[in-house]
Structure 1
Amino acid sequence: MNHLLLRLSVAVLAPTAILHPQAAHCQAAPVTAAPKLDPVVTQLPHISIATVGKGPALFLIPGLASPRAVWDGVVADLAKTHRVYLVQVNGFGGDDARENTKPGLLDGITADLNTYIVANKIKDAAIAGHSMGGLLAMMMGARYPQSTGRVLVVDSLPFFSLLFGPTATVESARPFAEQARARTISTPQATAPVTSDPGGIWSITAEGRIKVANWGAKADPRVSGQAVYEVMTTDLRPELGKVTAKPFTVLYATGAGPQAKTIWEGGYAGSPATLVPIADSWHFIMLDQPAAFLQALKSFVGPQ
């Protein structure tokens, strides 16, 4: 049960710990040079979209309390062969919350994505998402199949509250989700950068954990709180059969040990998803195993 609660703290409840980190005195994580993006960013009610590169469409959606900078380590390579669309949820990365303090955040994000894809006549879009972004990618595949050509999920379950146990239901998770939302909303945002290891299992390295903490510290607590609640009370398992996108691939970190395989195989049982374990990694696979992560992304989008 300890592993399950640890995984839950990483994938769902992490913002309650990183919205108010303590400043300390040690070397900060090295900064990855951000890719040079196109100058125009499209603003929608629930998300903004930045672009770079030319070729087939690839949408990258970060997770809970995370900015588009999560993908900085892979964007330059992917943009050599693809038109990369970097999504950022309004309220994360220091952005204005706009419509994301209200209920319906997840539905609003997917509706925005579909509207953008249809309006720009984008065909066979590949959609990859990390954590909450992975749940959104699956929602796109299940609810907007005409706008979704491929789906890649990075360390995300179709029902996050399975991390409490295999018999969890939306109703049994709701009280915990309400507590998590209230706790997150009431946590003040940090006013100083994180410079020492905050602990936790977001990443296997201190540098990675510092980077994740600083990303999360810029997130609006109101948006993180609403997102926590909706993620914990969304069970997409009954809809996975509607995902016709091929491939439909799920990368999952094995840092929790043998239980990781049991949890992820149980969560996706009977679905069309192909599960791919990534060794020696915690939740932010792109930080812990960057070479393996980039190779998995390239395999996902296929030869060009």
Structure 2
Amino acid sequence: MMSHLPLRIAASLLTLGVVLHPAAGHGQTAATAGGATHLPHISVRSAGTGSPVLLIPGLSSPAAVWDASVAQLAPHHRVITVQVNGFAGDAPGANLSPGILAGVVADLHGYLAAQKLAGVPVVGHSMGGLLAMQFALAHPGDVGRIMIVDSLPFYGRLFGPTMTPAMIEPRAKMMREAMAARYGKPADPAATAALANQMALKPESRAKVTAWVGQADARVGAQAMYEDLTTDLTADLPKLRAPVTLVVPYNAMLPQAQVDALYRGAYAGTPTLSVVEIGDAAHFVMLDQPEAFAKALDDFLR
């Protein structure tokens, strides 16, 4: 019944490898520059005042994916947005070496410690959702609660219930090599449009995804994708002390009952889990259904 899910999402990742090419790097190496704090694996910005909330984007996505959420929350919160070095045209920094996900978690911990912040709500989209869980497991005092937006604790689950990281590793390695090989090559407009059409439903959403696609360093995206694919947090879910809100989009191609069964099964071991399902939306649910997502975000922070 769910056989087309892995094919659709795997196709999106493979398409991502075809279309990504690096924009000229313009990241700064100073600790603080241009209003951002620059760390080895991420750059961090904050806006607004009040109780903090941390927003992490997904694979090869810029912090701009959260622009509407920043505008929504900044009047009452200190909104901390993360951008992975090498995405959105930034210089790759330390992300040309393996250990990107662990490096991001370490940088997040260091940043919150320097800011004397603890118990912060964390929102993560896609790979950012996986990072949010890794962050909460590694540094439980840093994370108060988690909102995971269309992400799984183990991506390989989409390829079958018996899949393991060891089983998926050869496929992930091939995908990494194919994606990294696109570094420095021009993007394919047809492939870019195909990816945007899979990842978003509305024309304005697809236009934004299309504009972002070509900005990421393919080498960083390839390694981050490999680490995402080969990471399995399923056995660690019962250790999560932070309550988890899971946002799941569905649409005509991915019916609600189908995605509900998949995601609830994947998160079955989570001690405190609430699920918010948003219809007529694809992977970039915050773009496809901004009002419904804004309500879910308000409810999460309330």
TM-score, length basis structure 2: 0.88
Instruction: Answer yes or no: is 1:253 the counterpart of 2:249.
Output: yes
> 2:147 is paired with a residue of what secondary structure?
strand
Shift of 1:206: 3.2
- Equivalent positions of 1:204-219 (< 5 A) are 204-219=201-216
Paired residue for 1:296?
296
Equivalents in 1 of 2:94, 2:192: separation in Å?
Answer: 33
Instruction: Answer yes or no: is 1:92 the counterpart of 2:93.
Output: no
Instruction: Answer yes or no: is 1:262 the counterpart of 2:257.
Output: no
Shift of 1:191: 5.0
Paired residue for 2:176?
181
Change (3 A) 1:192 1:3: closer
Paired residue for 1:19?
20
Equivalents in 2 of 1:82, 1:189: separation in Å?
Answer: 39
> 1:129 is paired with a residue of what secondary structure?
strand
Shift of 1:7: 2.9
| Residues 194, 214 of structure 1: 8 Å contact kept | no
For structure 2, the residue ranges without an aligned partner over 5 or more in a row are 22-32
Paired residue for 1:281?
281
Q: Deviations over 1:202-253 (max 9, x none)?
A: 001233223213212100011000011000000011111121113x111011
Shift of 1:101: 1.4
Amino acid at match of 2:247: L
Instruction: Answer yes or no: is 1:3 the counterpart of 2:1.
Output: no
Residue from 51, 57, 69 that aligns with 2:64: 69
Paired residue for 1:220?
217
Larger helix proportion, structure 1 or 2?
Answer: 2
Paired residue for 2:24?
none
Equivalents in 2 of 1:299, 1:18: separation in Å?
Answer: 36
Equivalents in 1 of 2:190, 2:49: separation in Å?
Answer: 37
- Equivalent positions of 1:67-146 (< 5 A) are 67-146=62-141
Q: Deviations over 1:47-85 (max 9, x none)?
A: 000110001111100000000000112211100110001
Paired residue for 2:241?
244
Q: Deviations over 1:183-213 (max 9, x none)?
A: 1101145657969971241001233223213
Residue from 228, 233, 245 that aligns with 1:231: 228
| Residues 8, 163 of structure 1: 8 Å contact kept | no
Paired residue for 2:25?
none
Backbone CA RMSD of aligned residues = 2.1
Paired residue for 1:159?
154
Equivalents in 2 of 1:252, 1:14: separation in Å?
Answer: 22
- Identical columns (%): 42
Equivalents in 1 of 2:19, 2:186: separation in Å?
Answer: 12
> 2:94 is paired with a residue of what secondary structure?
coil
Equivalents in 1 of 2:153, 2:292: separation in Å?
Answer: 23
Q: Deviations over 1:127-185 (max 9, x none)?
A: 10100001001111111101111111000000011111222110111011001100110
For structure 1, the residue ranges without an aligned partner over 5 or more in a row are 21-37
> 2:46 is paired with a residue of what secondary structure?
strand
Equivalents in 2 of 1:55, 1:65: separation in Å?
Answer: 29
Equivalents in 2 of 1:184, 1:281: separation in Å?
Answer: 27
> 2:96 is paired with a residue of what secondary structure?
coil
Which moves more between the two structures, 183-192 or 130-139?
183-192
Equivalents in 1 of 2:260, 2:116: separation in Å?
Answer: 39
Amino acid at match of 1:252: V
Runs of 4+ in 1 over 4 A off after TM superposition: 189-197
> 2:93 is paired with a residue of what secondary structure?
coil
Instruction: Answer yes or no: is 1:203 the counterpart of 2:200.
Output: yes
> 2:153 is paired with a residue of what secondary structure?
coil
Change (3 A) 1:196 1:135: closer
Shift of 1:270: 2.1
Q: How many residues align?
A: 284
Shift of 1:299: 0.9
Which moves more between the two structures, 63-72 or 257-266?
257-266
Amino acid at match of 1:175: P
> 1:145 is paired with a residue of what secondary structure?
coil
